[in-house]
Structure 1
Amino acid sequence: MQAEIIEIIRSNPHISRKEMASLLDSTPYSVKYHLGQLTNKGIIKHEGATKAGKWIILLKKD
């Protein structure tokens, strides 16, 4: 799921967790968990306000 999340962020950095959950046919809580894992690993970060911010990919995941 984390690779799919990275691809979604790459195509739309301003996407919300709720929108990601819908695209992945998952729950917002599950998406929140995986976003937290990716953030803790230093792969992504969220910049800006909660609703107006965007996701940034820090590392390329091969």
Structure 2
Amino acid sequence: MTAIGILVVLLAAANAVFLGWLGNRGVRTWREEEHVSFMDLKVLGQETRSEEPHGASTVSAR
């Protein structure tokens, strides 16, 4: 069991180093893509909310 635990820790460390290396090279990972798409949706929601006339939205913008 100890050998399996050490192997898992080594694999996790290698994965973190590899993802950091990809990030330094400018490669976007799937986690960053999800974060960007979520931020885009948040910005789009604020834009559509600000275009509505006053009192039309049931959700307050603040």
Q: Is the TM value for this pair above 0.5?
A: no
Greater helix content: 2
Higher strand share: 1
- Whose radius of gyration is greater, 1 or 2? 2
Higher RCO (CA-CA < 8 Å; seq separation 6+): 1
Could you tell me the TM-score, scaled by structure 2's length?
0.31
